[in-house]
Amino acid sequence: MRYLTFALAKGRLADQTMDLLERIGMPCEEMKEKTRKLIFVNEELGLKIFLAKTSDVPTYVEHGAADIGVVGKDTILEEGRNVYEMLDLELGKCRMCVAGPAESKEKLENSHSLTVATKYPKIARDYFYNKKHQTVEIIKLNGSVELAPIVGLSDVIVDIVESGATLKENGLQVLEEVCPLSARVIVNRVSMKMEHQRITEVIDKIRNLIKEDTK
């Protein structure tokens, strides 16, 4: 039997995903120990699991280095890779939002010279250009995006909002919602065809678990 390889996005999502995998009979306890090992192999079930930086998960899956990946919808949208998006895990639910100080609200409506700071330039561009038909200047940042409107780098930001607490503490608020987000199961195009049965089986099992959980 060929290995079925999973790429999981490092962090809380990986832990939650591993819980799901354990519940469908794919033990991952070895993964949960703190080690420096990057990849874990279960010979018996023919499984390989590795953790990768979130934004790299779609890359591994697109090239077929991993058959299946678990990653947030934000990363899928931003990376725009050619993969199957098979299942909404309903984990890590949050929203992609336009946020800023209250006084930016008017500018957001009417300005032709709006500047937008974001870690997600592609999502921001798609939202403003294709949905709102508004020309904006996008500035790509790599972290602490909330700073940008405070120090005057941009008028608004496009970022992930969970509770909104960070925004509030910095005097910002949600101005518009771009789209809801959650974790998704993605599958390589070739794997989906070559290992159709095995992969569909895994996905169906997880799908049923989620259905039970949400009941």
Q: Give whichever of 35 and 82 is closer to another protein, judged by the CB atom.
A: 82
Among 17, 59, 115, 154, interactor with another protein by CB under 8 A = 59
Q: What is the DSSP letter of 55?
A: G
The stretches of 95-215 forming alpha helices (DSSP H) are: 104-110, 121-125, 147-151, 165-169, 189-194, 196-214
Contact region with another protein (CB under 8 A), list: 28-36, 49-57, 84-92, 147-155? 84-92
115 in Cβ contact with 49 (< 8 Å): no
Among 88, 94, 147, 170, interactor with another protein by CB under 8 A = 88
117 in Cβ contact with 157 (< 8 Å): yes
At closest approach, how far in Å is the CB of 61 from another protein?
Answer: 8
Among 6, 40, 50, 84, interactor with another protein by CB under 8 A = 84
Binding flag, residue 53, another protein (CB under 8 A): no
How many residues in the shown chain lie near another protein by CB under 8 A?
A: 22
At closest approach, how far in Å is the CB of 96 from another protein?
Answer: 15
Contact region with another protein (CB under 8 A), list: 28-36, 61-69, 147-155, 165-173? 61-69
CA distance 154 to 33: 42
Surface-to-core class of residue 7, CB atoms within 10 Å of its CB (0-12 exposed, 13-18 middle, 19+ buried):
buried
Q: What is the DSSP letter of 92?
A: S
Q: Give whichever of 86 and 160 is closer to another protein, judged by the CB atom.
A: 86
Contact region with another protein (CB under 8 A), list: 10-18, 20-28, 55-63, 100-108? 55-63
131 in Cβ contact with 93 (< 8 Å): no
Best CA proximity match to 208, nearest among 8, 6, 41, 20: 20
- Contact residues toward another protein (CB under 8 A) are 2, 59, 62-65, 82-88, 184, 188-190, 192-194, 196, 200
